[in-house]
Chain A
Amino acid sequence: MTKPFWIRFVGNARVLIGLIWLALVIVGALAAPWIAPLDPFAISGQPFVRPLDGFAFGTDSLGRSVWSGLVHGARTTLLIAVIATLGAVAFGGLVGAVSGFYGGRTDNVLMRVTEFFQTIPSFIFAILLVAVLSPSATSVVIAIATVSWPPIARIVRGEVMSLRSREFVQAAVTLGEEDFVILFRQILPNALSPLIVTGSLLVATAILTESALSFLGLGAPNFMSWGFMIGAGRSFLRDAWWLVATPGIAILLTVLSINLVGEGLNDALNPRLRTP
């Protein structure tokens, strides 16, 4: 008798650590207006105040609170990363499902298009998209989603193709069910576990991409984000380490946590790794 999913999942110490940190970040992001009531761009003190000297994490070159930046930045960063990932999963999933289900010429055309996107270096492509669309929250989401969907399409296609020839699908075909009913009722639910794992890891990549874009000054200009904080603080690395170190550590821990959780999901969902 195998243990239930939740026990297997949370029983893993690494997963637990990851979940705890993610929970903290999410709570911080949700509670941002209460735990840091000031606008993160507001000049709230002297510039370059050291951490713990009246401000928990100090202030930046204009006297903006780093703590406020961290929690409001968590909001922006997570929101953009999650929406972009959902977009990528939805679009990539659809392309992969159609491609794998119908095969033949449809598959051929869709996969060549996917490859076209895969051959462009993704970060350069994201920079280009943001520059062309002019930096805003929407354009950053579009850019990240556009560069992230091809791997999803690939995975879903593979899963769908292998499930397509299984008896239960063929039974559904014989029963005369509509294509999309078969696809969404029979096939996709069974292809969900690799999709969840890849999707969760994609959030981590999206956070990194968003941070890199903001670092380069291509982030959403009216939203505080961790990458923006690092970009704005990098000229002062030698005088004010906390401007770069705090958001940097936040990104590191968050991305690491997502990876731990994602791998935990993989371990828990992958039937081959199940211990009897």
Chain B
Amino acid sequence: MRLVRCLALAAGLGSAVAGLAAAPAVAQKRGGTLVQITQPEPPTLGSYISTANPVGQVASKIYDGLLEYDFDLKPLPSLAEAWTISDDGKTVTFRLRPGVKFHDGKPFSSADVQFTVMEVLKKVHPRGINTFSEVTAVETPDPQTAVFRLNRPAPYMMAALSGYESPMLPKHVFGQGDIRSHQNANTPVGTGPFKFTEWRRGEFVRLDRNADYWKPGRPYLDRVVVRFIGDTGTRAAALEKGEAHIAGFGAVPYNDVKKLEKLPNIQIETKGYEMLSPVVELMFNTRKAPFDNVKVRQAISYAIDRKFVIDNIWFGFGKPTNGPISSNFAPTGLYSADVTNYNVADGIDRANRLLDEAGLPRKADGVRFEITHDITPYGEEWRRFGEYTQQALAKIGIKANLRYEDVATWLKRIYTDYDYEVSSNHLFNLADPVLGVHRAFHSRFIRPGTVFVNGVRWSDPRADDLMDRATIEPDPKKRAELYAEVQKIVVAAAPLAWTHEISFATVLDKRYRDVIVSPLGLFSSFDRAWRE
């Protein structure tokens, strides 16, 4: 058996803590209320059934997961004290922490793990359906042991066991009734550091300290209040005045973030999004001429000035890229920079040459061909990105007409009717490429009607095969090699033009410490956060 020992991890945790404490060691103080701004108000608190961003921002304080993660995306113990993965990768055994209680006082045991994974996450969680697809059974030889039996190895599953992604639910509460419309969805009961107290619709959710939390002495804060403020300006003002203390995920627009950064009481944190890693992409309808021609797709990839886009549209909160996998995966080895580099100074010249080679010469008016670009209907920066793209394409002789529709119409156009030529989007890489990256170009994900999948309808048996092998490859090194190959193939074929990674910015009040301590950022439990 290849053991992943708790000890090694504990050492890792120790060094991480030491790293954080490198600043003058201050003792954490008890007490205080943290006001978090979440935008918009979540439709539910059932994070086991909805992956909508605001849901996770609230529910992650209430539910724990089997594991936590450090900034290098390495698993750390949480509800599971230790775990072992068999050599064939098909059995994963978790030793659960004894003495953990749910907020209603009942003990947490392996039966809860079995129930949560088999009855809830595998069935109704939008991503859990994929994450746990290989899990055939969860055995419970004793209350402190949960054994996952897998059909094939699923290394990505180990990256998806946080309290945000796979919250552990009490069987005695959620075991009764229909899980899809459970009465406790909005009065959640978990094992997390904060207990649900009240949800006043349109105003706030109040979470109070769980005095019986299993981590001794924690949490340090008395209360977390999640406020919902509809107006952008008011949100920025609340943070400026110290009435609210934390907001992330674009709740404050980038240009306002720049302004708040200059205030003495505010700090801007771009860490804490490593397990999400959105990558902006231009989508090409690869089954429609002229985008069935790889040279046309490459030409457009060359035409985008990444630096201009990041500096002027995302106000510096981004990082240029060429490929689908975020550089946040560099510590795990899954990110590879050894791909075609489209981000070059003479990009426009190269693009023009490629289009000439593709047999699409400029006509008398300087235009090679005309297309429609469907702008992502997500707001200001996406609109500017569309307008910028129009200008960039004009330089290489492509006349782009912009079309702007509402989200539902746009989604249907791109992912159901495939009635488009070029569009843009950003997909989250999530905790592992299997969960967040394959969907964009694996041919298994050409699923009319399913959104945020392979809407470009690109299909390449070689890439498919490599991804399938990487999915079940337990050895991290071999897995990294497979993904390096995938990235090389897909970037050269350019079914999408990946332009940059978005860095979300969290606006944080400086009086609060140790708030963003994990790659899940606002989706983590805040058990270590404290107020000066």
Residues on A facing B (Cβ under 8 Å)? 39, 41-43, 47, 61-63, 131, 134-136, 217-218, 221-222, 232, 235-236, 238-239
Contact = CB atoms under 8 A, between A and B. Distances in A.
B405 interface: yes
Nearest to A131: B406
A43 B391 contact: yes
27 contacts: A39-B394, A41-B390, A41-B391, A47-B312, A61-B313, A62-B312, A62-B313, A131-B406, A134-B404, A134-B405, A135-B403, A135-B404, A135-B405, A136-B403, A221-B401, A221-B402, A221-B403, A221-B404, A222-B402, A232-B380, A232-B383, A235-B232, A235-B255, A235-B380, A238-B259, A239-B255, A239-B259
The residue among A63, A235, A236 with the most chain B CB atoms within 10 A of its own CB is: A235
B130 interface: no
A42 B387 CA distance: 9
Nearest to B391: A43
Given A43-B388, A235-B253, A236-B255, A63 B312 contact: yes
Interface string B190-212: 00000000000000000000000
B300 interface: no
A128 B402 CA distance: 20
Nearest to B384: A62
Interface of B (DSSP majority class):
helix
Interface in B342-363: none
A131 to B, nearest CB: 6
Contact of B404 (A217, A236, A238): A217
Nearest to B401: A222
Given A135-B405, A239-B255, A232 B384 contact: yes
Contacts of B406: 131
B375 interface: yes
A119 B404 CA distance: 29
Interface in B463-498: none
Interface of B: 232, 253, 255-256, 259, 308, 312-313, 375, 380, 383-384, 387-388, 390-391, 394, 401-406, 409
A103 to B, nearest CB: 43
Given A235-B255, A239-B255, A41 B387 contact: yes
Given A39-B394, A221-B404, 15 more contacts: A41-B390, A43-B308, A43-B388, A47-B312, A62-B387, A134-B404, A135-B403, A135-B404, A136-B403, A221-B402, A221-B403, A222-B401, A235-B232, A235-B253, A235-B256
Contacts of A218: 404
Contact of A42 (B253, B259, B308, B391): B391
B393 to A, nearest CB: 12
Contacts of B308: 43
A33 to B, nearest CB: 15
5 nearest CB pairs, A to B: A221-B402, A221-B404, A47-B312, A134-B405, A135-B404
Given A235-B255, A236-B255, A62 B380 contact: no
Nearest to B258: A239
The residue among A135, A136, A222, A236 with the most chain B CB atoms within 10 A of its own CB is: A222
A41 B393 CA distance: 12
Contacts of A61: 312-313, 384
Nearest to A44: B391
A63 B405 CA distance: 25
Contacts of B388: 43, 62
A235 B255 CA distance: 8
A61 B312 CA distance: 7
A134 B409 contact: yes
Nearest to B404: A221
A130 to B, nearest CB: 10
A217 B253 contact: no
The residue among A39, A61, A63, A232 with the most chain B CB atoms within 10 A of its own CB is: A61
A47 B402 CA distance: 22
Nearest to A63: B312
A193 B313 CA distance: 51
Contacts of A222: 401-402
A42 B392 CA distance: 9
Contacts of A235: 232, 253, 255-256, 380
Nearest to B309: A62
Nearest to A221: B402
Contact of B383 (A39, A43, A217, A236): A217
A238 to B, nearest CB: 7
A39 B400 CA distance: 13
A55 to B, nearest CB: 16
